[in-house]
Amino acid sequence: MGAVTSTVAARFAFFPPTPPSYKVVKDQITGKLIFSDVLNRDHVDIHVLRTKRGQDIVSLYVRHPSARLTLLYSHGNAADLGQMHELFVELSMHLRVNVMGYDYSGYGASTGKPSEANTYADITAAYECLEREYGVQQEDVVLYGQSVGSGPTLNLAARLPRLRAVVLHSAILSGLRVMYPVKRTYWFDIYKNIDKIGQVNCPVLVMHGTRDEVVDCSHGKLLWDLCKNKYEPLWIKGGGHCDLELYPQYIRHLRKFVSSLERSSLTKSRSRKKFSLLGRTISA
Catalytic residues: 147, 212, 241
Q: How far apart are CA 30 and CA 135, in angstroms?
A: 23
191-to-23, 147, 186, 207 alpha-carbon distances in Å: 29, 11, 11, 18
Q: How far apart are CA 147 and CA 196, in angstroms?
A: 15
9 Cβ partners below 8 Å, 6+ apart? 175, 176, 178, 179, 188, 189, 190
Nearest CA to 166 among 180, 151, 188? 151
**What angle do helix axes 116-134 and 150-157 make, rounded to 10 degrees?**
60
Judge whether 22 and 109 are in contact, CB under 8 Å: yes
Q: How far apart are CA 98 and CA 64, in angstroms?
A: 5
Tell me which amino acid residue 224 is: W
* Reduced 3-state DSSP string for 109-122: CCCCCCCHHHHHHH
Beta strands in the chain, from DSSP E residues, in sequence order: 24-26, 33-35, 44-50, 56-62, 70-74, 98-102, 141-146, 165-169, 204-209, 234-236
103-to-56, 99, 122, 138, 231 alpha-carbon distances in Å: 10, 14, 8, 21, 28
